[in-house]
Amino acid sequence: MKKILLLQCFLLFSGTMAFSQKELSESPFKNVIGQTLEVDQNKCLYRIEKTDFAFIFHHFFEKPQAYTIVDIIPFHKFVDDQVPEQYKEDWINSLLPSYYPILTLKDKVTGLTNNFISPQKISTENDVLIFQPDSDWLKSFFMLYDNAEVESTSGSKWVFTDCGIASSGSIFLTTGDGSTKIYIKTFNHILKVPFAWYEYRKQRAELEKRRLEQAKQQAEQAEQAKQQAELEKQQAELEKQRKRQALIKKYGTHYAQCIEDKKIELGMPKEIFFEIKDKDFIFRIQESLVHGVRVEIYQEIRAGSALIYGYNKYNYYRFENGKLVSYLYD
């Protein structure tokens, strides 16, 4: 029985070792390790710096440089080694694809070794490292810009909304409505991506959700207010038409129009005159009978005159037998 158990353990251990060696041997980059990588403007690299709270991705190109390829590891392994435990799962599941390569390069001049990442698709051809523009890889890489602080080496701040690949193969970033394009190879800048990137993203998504809900609610309220205003307008128009028809029936079309336009004219009956004038501002100051004609004089306080002039201004209207025969404005 013990022999069987020992044999099973040996086979399991051997299988695990064989799998690890197979995984290593099938790495697409195994034959480029130790080679020299010449970096020019056609090869886009970001140097990765780690702080206590974030990764800082530096893109700086001044002149071609030569590096020794020390290692190329998948993104998930880099995260496992570098990202604090509480953020690992978020970074592995929510940022770059697990297979995205991280390059460990040694500067042939300074001897310094750093980790690098590229927005270009990295592959091998005839045991040579190839950098190619690829829209899917670029789309994944652009997630680093989401919720990141972007600052150029000149100190200006940037917010990028999208990215793309020009017909020449050059990668560009766009701002605002996409009308402004910034080509990466000519844009020295840094990205500061906090380890709590995913939490910030969730918070921002929640805020955006609330904003959209609020905007929807405001739009609905505005639409309701618009519909209510339209209804009130229709009701006011119906009421206006009702009153107009009543006036036409009572006074005829001509005088109904005069009332609607608040227009007085000679020969107008007093009853219609008072349909137009505000009774609170007009008073009869004289009434007499002259040769069988009933004469009435009305005085009207001109609206707003006391406020404008400091004293009242008056209009005067003379009626004979109930009809307007003359008027005088003071």
pLDDT tens across 98-140, in order?
Answer: 888 999 999 999 999 999 999 999 999 889 999 999 999 999 8
Report the pLDDT value the prediction gives residue 26, as an integer from 0 to 100: 57
Same domain, 185 and 42: yes
Same domain, 168 and 38: yes
Task: For residue 14, name the pLDDT band (cuts at 50, 70, 90).
Answer: very low
- Out of 195, 212, 229, a domain closes at 195
- The answer to which of 23-32, 180-189, 246-255, 304-313 has the lowest mean pLDDT is 304-313
Q: Which helix (H) or strand (E) holds 34?
A: none
Same domain, 59 and 111: yes
Torsions phi, psi for 33 (to 5 deg) = -65, 130
Structure tokens at 142: 């652009």
Is 13 a member of any domain? no
Same domain, 315 and 217: no
Percent above pLDDT 90 for the chain: 54
Same domain, 302 and 241: no
Report the pLDDT value the prediction gives residue 28, as an integer from 0 to 100: 81
Report the pLDDT value the prediction gives residue 304, as an integer from 0 to 100: 61
Residue 239 sits in which domain range? 203-251
What are the DSSP calls for 110-172, one per residue? T--EEEEE-SSEEEESSS-EEEE--HHHHHHHGGGGTT-EEEETTS-EE---EEEE-TTS-EE
Same domain, 128 and 235: no
Is 11 a member of any domain? no
The residue count of the chain comes to 330
Same domain, 41 and 188: yes
Average pLDDT, stretch 310-321?
86
Is 115 a member of any domain? yes
pLDDT tens-digit readout, 62-89: 889 999 999 999 998 999 899 889 888 8
- The answer to which of 20-24, 50-54, 207-211, 326-330 has the lowest mean pLDDT is 20-24
The better pLDDT of the pair 148, 286 is held by 286
Q: What is the mean pLDDT of the chain?
A: 85
The better pLDDT of the pair 129, 6 is held by 129
Is 154 a member of any domain? yes
Report the pLDDT value the prediction gives residue 3, as an integer from 0 to 100: 40
Question: 95 by DSSP, 3-state: which?
Answer: coil
* CA–CA distance, 226 with 220 (Å, rounded to integer): 10
Report the pLDDT value the prediction gives residue 294, as an integer from 0 to 100: 95
Q: How far is CA 69 from the centre of its chain?
A: 43
Same domain, 31 and 153: yes
Same domain, 306 and 289: yes
Is 48 a member of any domain? yes
* CA–CA distance, 115 with 89 (Å, rounded to integer): 21
Report the pLDDT value the prediction gives residue 109, as an integer from 0 to 100: 94
Is 6 a member of any domain? no
The better pLDDT of the pair 111, 307 is held by 111
Report the pLDDT value the prediction gives residue 87, as an integer from 0 to 100: 86
> CA angle at residue 100 from 99 to 101, to 5 degrees?
105
Report the pLDDT value the prediction gives residue 1, as an integer from 0 to 100: 41
Is 318 a member of any domain? yes
Same domain, 212 and 177: no
Same domain, 120 and 39: yes
> CA angle at residue 152 from 146 to 155, to 5 degrees?
120
Percent above pLDDT 70 for the chain: 88
Report the pLDDT value the prediction gives residue 9, as an integer from 0 to 100: 42
Is 16 a member of any domain? no
- Out of 154, 170, 195, a domain closes at 195
Task: For residue 21, name the pLDDT band (cuts at 50, 70, 90).
Answer: very low
Tell me which residue of 83, 192, 75, 107 sits closest to 145, measured CA to CA: 192
Average pLDDT, stretch 279-297?
92
Tell me which residue of 159, 185, 183, 188 sits closest to 173, measured CA to CA: 183
* CA–CA distance, 101 with 29 (Å, rounded to integer): 10
Same domain, 234 and 180: no
Q: How many domains does the chain have?
A: 3
